[in-house]
Every structure is written in structure tokens, then in C-alpha cells.
Chain A
Amino acid sequence: MKNIYKIKFHPLFYIVVVISILTGHFNEFSLFLLIIIIHEFGHIISGILFKWRIKQINILPFGAITIFDEGLTKPLFEEFIIAIMGPIFQIIVYNVLKSNYDVKSIHYSLLFFNLLPIVPLDGAKIMNILLNVFFPFKKSLLLTIVISVIWLSVLTFLLLINKLNLLFLLILFFLLARVYKELKSHQFIVHKFLYERFYLPKKYRHTKMLNGVDVTKMYKDHNHIFKVNNICYTEHEILRKMFDFKGKL
């Protein structure tokens, strides 16, 4: 139970709690919190099953995000199961609870919102994993960001044509900030991926042959052989030019 210290509440969360108490909706807010915790529990249980380390569980005013401490080179299968277990666990527990608690709209709305492909949400994670099966790491990262921006605009439009809601505005700002941050730091993320590939090499089941020396064409979950002028180089040799300084720094 020492993991309990990893749960962190965002400051805005406390404000939303106070607002929900003062407006007399404490009952509904606790149900909302319950659904969020159940959802995160799905992620946490599957993470523990795969022996991933949990870094932090951030509880925001409109949802929660589990941050694992495992880097960018974990197998795609494990990532997929962990990402999908959140919604699935939520669905299973909802079907058990629905006869006793009035959570229909909260559950379905949360499910639908979470599966939207906008960056910190589960939908974007799952889509990113699927893209990584077909495209190189950098390309799928950029595609995820582009799709996030498109869907974020759709969501903004949908929510602005309805009556003004303070909480939705909060959610939109949060998502916008995260998508922007991801866009600004995508170079850094690609670099971090290559760094982990060099310093923590793993053996994967499949191998890909790449022409040229462009490391940004590397795939997740594959070993690579680079072919330059009919000579084949391993991944490690090519990456060494980027990372191995040998005292020349």
C-alpha cells in the first residue's frame, strides 16, 4: 500500500469539490469520483501484472491520468493491454453497479470522452499504439498530434455551440495545453526514444531493413539493419554516432 503516496490531486480538483458541495451535488460528485477511480484501477492492475513501475496517479477535476515510469521501449502488446484495461474495467464494474447507482450518463459520457483521440486521453494512446504497428516512431507521433488537433477543434466546436459551461472550458484549456506541449517537445521525445534504444537495447522478434542512415525512420518493437551503399550496419553502430562521445565532449 505504499503506492498510495503516488496519488496526487490537482489543486483545481479541490475547487471543483468545494463547488459541488456548495451547489448540493455532493452525491453525484462522489459517484463521478468513484467511476474515475474504477477506471484508473483498470490501468493500475494491468500495470502491476506486467510489472511496470507506477510513477504518479494524477487526479484532475475531470478525470485521472496514470503515469508509468517505464520509458518508450516497452513492448507494444503490454502498452496496448494497459491502455485498454481502463475502459474495459470501467464497463465491467458499471454493469455490476448499474442496478444500485444512478451513473448511466456519467459512465457513458466519461467512456466516450476518454476514447477521443486527443493527446493525454486513452483514445490517443490506443491510436498511437496502432499507428506504431504500421509507421515509424516519429511519423506515428506526428500523426497522433495532428489527429489530436483535429479532434480537439471538433470538440471545441461541439461544446461552444451548447450553453457555456465552466468545467468544459477548463477541460478544453487543459487539453489544448497538453497538445501544444506535445507538439513543442516532439523532437525531444524522438531523441529520448533513440537514446533508450542505444543505452537499453532489447531484442525484438521482428527486424526491419532501412535504406540510408535516417534514424528517425526507426520503428517501435523492431530491430533494424541500416543499408548504406550496399553495406549493412546494425542499429547500435548507427546510433553510436549520435550518443557515444568517448570523452570528446
Chain B
Amino acid sequence: MFSKRHALIFLSKILFCTIITLGILICIKASPTFKTNFYQQVFERHISFAEINKVYEKYAGFSIPFKDLFIKDVEPVFNENLTYHDKSKYLDGVKLTVDENYLVPTLTEGLVIFVGEKDNYGKTVIISGSNGIDVWYSNLDNPAIGLYENVQKGDLVGSAKDNYIYLVFKKDGQVLNYEEYL
């Protein structure tokens, strides 16, 4: 059963967590620069798995034993380049006019890190590319890939809702200029 020592250790852990939480909340309230920095560090940065994967595969081959060793998984049936009719700036990214219900292909290879709804963008898929840049594919009707799947360049992301999609390019939470990456 629990001795007095165990109870004291447990209580001191709870106290320690409370102190840290309240301390951070106070700092966030007090200083706006701290708030933006903190939010960026916690909510926007992530380990760039796709980048690590690229370096690892260059020197040591595939990281899962036996995958694609003697026989391959699904053969890629969709391998396209992203084509669009028109582009214009939209919030943090670019709005591309495409065909009705266009099947959107990926721009780079990478790991899918988000599938869901984003405010002002619609159904979104965020793919973390092997160059460290996250690409948002938004205003989709139906995402065709699942969370944490690895995709190759040109794989199907989903079908566009209406006739336009939004793309946002971010690195470590900082929005990048879409002109350089399109």
C-alpha cells in the first residue's frame, strides 16, 4: 500500500506541475512577445520526420525490415504533376483555380501529419516534406490518404471541392512565400 513517503513524493510532483503551469500562464498574460514565441515553439514546431527519413535512407536503406523486399505493396496508380489555371493570394497561402473536382497530387514526398478541418481553409491535409517544408492542401472534398502515411511525389491527396484549392507553405511555423515553391 502507499506509505507516507510515496504520498509526499506524489504531492510534490503535482505541486511542481502546478507551479510550472501557473508560471507559464502568468508570463503569457504579461508579455505578448513571450506569448507568440511560446505558441510558436509548442504548437507550430515539430520533428521533421521526413527529413530524418531522407538522410537515413540515403545511408542505411529502408528502416522497416522486409518491407518491399521480395514483393512490393500497392503499385502507384496515380502519378501526376500539379497543374492549375490561375493563382491568387489567399490569407497565408495561395488559391489555385483548377478543374472541377480535380484530383490533387502531392508536390513532394513526405509524411502526412494532419488530416482535418482548418478555419477559413476547409478540409485540409498537411504533408511534411523531406526538405523540412510543410505543405497544406486545403479545400478538399475527400482526403484520400490517412494520418501518418508516407507518400511519394505525385500521390493522390484528395479531390478538390468546387474548382479551387488552397496551398500554404510553412517551415517551423513560419509562413513562406508561395512563389518559390509552386
Query: Using a CB–CB distance below 8 Å, which chain A residues touch chain B?
Result: 16, 19-20, 22-29, 32, 61-63, 102, 104-106, 108-110, 112-113, 163-168, 171
Given contacts A163-B61, A166-B60, A167-B61, contact A109 B66 (CB under 8 A): yes
Beta-carbon contact of A109 and B149 below 8 Å: no
Residue of A nearest to B66 (CB): A109
Complex interface residues of chain B between 48 and 103 (CB less than 8 A to chain A): 49-50, 52-53, 56-57, 59-74
Beta-carbon contact of A28 and B52 below 8 Å: no
Beta-carbon contact of A109 and B70 below 8 Å: yes
Given contacts A105-B68, A105-B72, A108-B70, contact A26 B62 (CB under 8 A): no
Give the distance in Å from the alpha carbon of A20 to the alpha carbon of B73 in the complex: 18
Beta-carbon contact of B53 and A25 below 8 Å: yes
Query: B142: CB under 8 A from chain A?
Result: no
Residue of B nearest to A113 (CB): B66
Nearest chain B CB to A226's CB is how many angstroms away?
Answer: 48
Give the distance in Å from the alpha carbon of A163 to the alpha carbon of B62 in the complex: 10
Question: CB-CB < 8 A to B66: which residues of A?
Answer: 32, 62, 105-106, 109-110, 113
Beta-carbon contact of B73 and A102 below 8 Å: yes
Query: B111: CB under 8 A from chain A?
Result: yes
18 additional contacts, CB 8 Å, given A22-B52, A164-B60?
Answer: A16-B65, A20-B63, A20-B64, A22-B49, A22-B53, A23-B63, A24-B148, A25-B53, A25-B150, A105-B70, A109-B71, A112-B70, A113-B66, A165-B60, A165-B62, A166-B60, A167-B61, A168-B61
Nearest chain B CB to A214's CB is how many angstroms away?
Answer: 43
Task: With a 10 A CB-CB cut-off, give which of B49, B61, B63, B74 has the most chain A CB atoms.
Answer: B63
Give the distance in Å from the alpha carbon of A94 to the alpha carbon of B176 in the complex: 45
Residue of A nearest to B72 (CB): A105
Given contacts A23-B52, A24-B52, A24-B150, contact A105 B61 (CB under 8 A): no
Query: B47: CB under 8 A from chain A?
Result: yes
Nearest chain B CB to A162's CB is how many angstroms away?
Answer: 9
Nearest chain A CB to B133's CB is how many angstroms away?
Answer: 15
Beta-carbon contact of B67 and A102 below 8 Å: no
Question: CB-CB < 8 A to A112: which residues of B?
Answer: 70
Question: CB-CB < 8 A to A28: which residues of B?
Answer: 64, 67, 150
Given contacts A109-B67, A110-B66, contact A23 B53 (CB under 8 A): yes
Closest 3 CB pairs of A and B: A165-B61, A24-B49, A166-B60
Give the distance in Å from the alpha carbon of A166 to the alpha carbon of B63 in the complex: 8
Question: CB-CB < 8 A to A63: which residues of B?
Answer: 65
Beta-carbon contact of A25 and B149 below 8 Å: no
Question: CB-CB < 8 A to B65: which residues of A?
Answer: 16, 32, 61-63, 167-168, 171
Nearest chain B CB to A159's CB is how many angstroms away?
Answer: 9
Nearest chain A CB to B179's CB is how many angstroms away?
Answer: 28
Nearest chain B CB to A31's CB is how many angstroms away?
Answer: 9
